[in-house]
Structure 1
Amino acid sequence: MLSSTMDLKRTYRIAVCIFFFIAGLTYSSWACRIHDIKTQFGLNNAGLGSVLFALPIGLMISLPVSGWMVTRFGSRRVLIAAGLLFPFMLCMIGLATHIWQLVTVLFLFGFMNNVFEIAMNTQAVGVEALYGRSVMASFHGLWSLAGFTGIAIGTLAVNLGWPVWLHFWLVAPACWLLVFFSRKYLLPEDAPAEAQPLFAKPDRQLLQLGLIAFASLITEGTMFDWSGVYFQKIVQVPESLTTVGYIAFMGTMAGGRFLADRIVTRFGIRQVLQCAGAITTTGLLLAIFFANIYTATLGFLLVGIGVSSIVPLVLALAGKSKTLPPGVAIAAVSTVGFLGFLIGPPLIGFIAEALNLQWSFALIAVFSAGIMLLASKMD
């Protein structure tokens, strides 16, 4: 009987892992062809920025809707539908021939991305409850691993001269096959919950978790968008080495997510979040005050380790809210957190223009230090 229960839990976990992989593969496939889409439409930097803004708008609008949908229809149904529609939107990006079509599809791509994220994190919270210990970070590790896979496939597609539409139409059917074979092994039901309004105000604890997610995601957004520029302008490395910091950050972030659950089980979430904030702050300060390739790379390695576990752990805690259903609580925390991812990169640019990039990174270090303070006040 015990063996049967363990096999069932493992089956649920593998199925949810597959959906995290689908999400990461789909998003990274789009991200690695942005430059080609820019060239295809003849966009300058400002034009590309305007077009790309449709994606976060779709994501933000979907946040309250996603939580309501998961509560109303169940995370399993919503996740299966999103697992089909999210890659389909990827295909539609490849087929867009006019700017208005690209903007429309990117809006829908962002919308479906977040529906997917809320539903699969709700499933992950349910699986974690079955295990009775932390397993959330490992799910997000699969998302990061899928990101590397998507970038590798995209690099191959570029080198082989595949057009964007062909690349996307090869990725999407692979995702649909994964959905088809794993859908029956998802958790059949979420924890019972009362009906909730479309817009739900987070309580103090959820707001606190949202602020921690905000501080972490503003750091992640900065690393994604500005690490190469930092190595080019501040560290002043040769052109061939500008991606070293980004690779260092992504590598330790992915690896840290596979180790985080074991560490949380041993030391507890509050202690891990405090340490994560300290490690992230230390890494940023190291890159700021000792801006050479060795210390800056070490600093970015530490930042990857620090942020790796923060968002997965915060979402896991949100899913255990006593005041809101898991889907709504996760959406509420994601709303606050994603503002950091959205605001961070342009804020860095404004400060860098007024002062310099090191001052911009210093502000991000202040946010990272705030994670330690917020985690210390957790109930």
Structure 2
Amino acid sequence: MFSTPQKQRIALSAYFFLSGICFSTWASRIPTIKAIFNLTEGDLGNLLMIMPASAIIGIPLSGWLVAKYDSRIPLQIASVTFLLSLFSIGWGFSLFGLVISLILFSISLRIINVAINTQSLSIQEKFEKRIVGKFHGVWSIGGILGVLFSTIMIKYQVSIFWHFLMIMLFGLVIIIGMFPFLIKNDKAKTSNTFKLQKPSKYISLLGFIVFFAAICEGGMYDWNGVYLKEIVKQEVFTYGYLLFMVCMTISRLTIDNLMGRFGMQKLYIASSVLIISGVLIATVFPSLFPVLIGFCMVGFGVSGLYPMTFILAGKAKKYSVPIVISIISTYSTVGMFLGPPIIGYLASAFGLQKAFITFIVAGLMFIPLSKFVFDHLKKTN
């Protein structure tokens, strides 16, 4: 019924989907965790800082694993530990246990990100039309369903323990069923060696693009619920997250066509404008509908940054694709987990609304960085 490449595409889409569900499940329940442990904004910032610190441990590990072995092997192992660590976060038995769980969660997520993006570029070679953006769209669909399910759990006051247990069991079914259909024998044929040295200018530029994209995306994931609850005084605080994910998904499912029509360089500029405008609306007019509109604009703005940048990563020449993705994903991982604690510290000092200026600063960076990237490509081609 399905050709082998189609089966591989479906299987990998399932892993993108599961990653989206699990991450949005964690992020949408951060206000719950904050309440359980009676954390201040500064305390929450400290807790979230654990994640970028632990992700750095995986800088050489993730790229080496995916380049040394078939990428599906570390993907499967990391997916299991990812699900187990998510469940242990929901256990909530102690603050120490939460810290250990977050460390494992962060390292597992890093390995998953490198593996699924490596597989996506391998599968892309088997299709004439661009499909990388659609994989990221499937991740966002998973994120939508994850936050929808979280909304139901919150509305009916289901404990975080049972909530995360259900997600873990669902995830185990997916990875057991889909693992046999992933791409095999994709171990890198070029250099597998990761050396701790300064990356090329081109790789660094791409890395900084995903770093600032991750600050925007990670910060929105972790703080938009708190913003809705504490600034807008909205009891069902997942509405903003839900609309943010819906807008990201719509955009990511169409990003491949948009790239063909307008070109990546124009889309980077459009992303910058949407992010800045959306954050300004949400902070200047802190009531429900303006905030939801602002979050939607940020969702549209952030959505295309990852797929476009990972496509550009395939043009790098210094390392094999898994190593390049690992290096760039390092910037992404640090940004994803550094953004939220920065927001927390600024919120503790100046208030949450003023702390959201961080997103405006990050959004501005895409214009000069993308210009440098495309100037570099023109010189080398």
TM-score (norm 2): 0.84
Query: Could you tell me whether the CA contact under 8 Å between 2:346 and 2:352 is conserved in 1?
Result: yes
Query: What is the distance in 2 between the residues matched to 1:250 and 1:263?
Result: 19
The SS at the match of 2:51 is: helix
Aligned partner of 2:79 in structure 1 is 83
* 1:358 to partner: Cα distance: 5.8
Query: Could you tell me whether the CA contact under 8 Å between 1:71 and 1:327 is conserved in 2?
Result: yes
> What is the RMSD of the two structures over their aligned residues, measured on CA atoms?
3.1
Query: Could you tell me whether the CA contact under 8 Å between 1:58 and 1:109 is conserved in 2?
Result: no
The SS at the match of 1:239 is: coil
The reply on whether 1:195 has 2:195 as its aligned counterpart is no
Query: What is the distance in 1 between the residues matched to 2:177 and 2:236?
Result: 41
Aligned partner of 2:325 in structure 1 is 330
Write out per-residue CA displacement over residues 322-349 of structure 1, whole angstroms, 9 at most, x where no aligned residue.
2112222112112223333333334445
Report matched runs for 1:314-329 at 5 Å: 314-329=309-324
Query: What is the distance in 2 between the residues matched to 1:299 and 1:162?
Result: 30
Query: Could you tell me whether the CA contact under 8 Å between 1:213 and 1:314 is conserved in 2?
Result: yes
**Cα separation, partners in 2 of 1:157 and 1:343, compared to 1, 3 Å:** closer
The reply on whether 1:9 has 2:9 as its aligned counterpart is no
Aligned partner of 2:70 in structure 1 is 74
Greater shift, 365-374 or 292-301, is seen at 292-301
Aligned partner of 2:214 in structure 1 is 217
* 1:66 to partner: Cα distance: 0.5
Query: Could you tell me whether the CA contact under 8 Å between 2:81 and 2:104 is conserved in 1?
Result: no
**Cα separation, partners in 2 of 1:231 and 1:257, compared to 1, 3 Å:** same
Aligned partner of 1:208 in structure 2 is 205
Aligned partner of 2:127 in structure 1 is 131
Aligned partner of 1:113 in structure 2 is 109
Q: Which has the higher contact order (CA 8 A, sep 6+)?
A: 2
Aligned partner of 2:253 in structure 1 is 258
The SS at the match of 1:174 is: helix
* 1:208 to partner: Cα distance: 0.6
In structure 2, give the amino acid aligned to 1:174. Answer: F
* 2:58 aligned residue (62, 77, 88): 62
Report matched runs for 1:269-288 at 5 Å: 269-287=264-282
Query: What is the distance in 2 between the residues matched to 1:149 and 1:301?
Result: 17
- Unaligned runs of 5+ residues in structure 1 are none
Query: What is the distance in 2 between the residues matched to 1:240 and 1:37?
Result: 16
* 1:343 aligned residue (338, 342, 356): 338
**Cα separation, partners in 2 of 1:221 and 1:26, compared to 1, 3 Å:** closer
Query: What is the distance in 2 between the residues matched to 1:162 and 1:283?
Result: 32
The reply on whether 1:302 has 2:297 as its aligned counterpart is yes
Query: What is the distance in 2 between the residues matched to 1:36 and 1:356?
Result: 20
Greater shift, 81-90 or 29-38, is seen at 29-38
Write out per-residue CA displacement over residues 101-138 of structure 1, whole angstroms, 9 at most, x where no aligned residue.
33222211211111111111111111122224432221
Query: Could you tell me whether the CA contact under 8 Å between 2:278 and 2:294 is conserved in 1?
Result: yes
The SS at the match of 1:321 is: coil
* 1:225 to partner: Cα distance: 3.8
**Cα separation, partners in 2 of 1:282 and 1:153, compared to 1, 3 Å:** closer
**Cα separation, partners in 2 of 1:64 and 1:276, compared to 1, 3 Å:** same
**Cα separation, partners in 2 of 1:212 and 1:36, compared to 1, 3 Å:** closer
Query: What is the distance in 1 between the residues matched to 2:14 and 2:325?
Result: 20
- Unaligned runs of 5+ residues in structure 2 are none
Query: What is the distance in 2 between the residues matched to 1:238 and 1:163?
Result: 22
**Cα separation, partners in 2 of 1:186 and 1:326, compared to 1, 3 Å:** same
**Cα separation, partners in 2 of 1:276 and 1:156, compared to 1, 3 Å:** closer
Query: Could you tell me whether the CA contact under 8 Å between 2:12 and 2:116 is conserved in 1?
Result: yes
Greater shift, 283-292 or 193-202, is seen at 283-292
Query: What is the distance in 2 between the residues matched to 1:146 and 1:290?
Result: 30
**Cα separation, partners in 2 of 1:71 and 1:366, compared to 1, 3 Å:** same
Greater shift, 120-129 or 98-107, is seen at 98-107
Query: What is the distance in 1 between the residues matched to 2:327 and 2:288?
Result: 39
Give the paired residue count: 372
* 2:174 aligned residue (175, 178, 184): 178
In structure 2, give the amino acid aligned to 1:170. Answer: M
Query: What is the distance in 2 between the residues matched to 1:363 and 1:39?
Result: 25
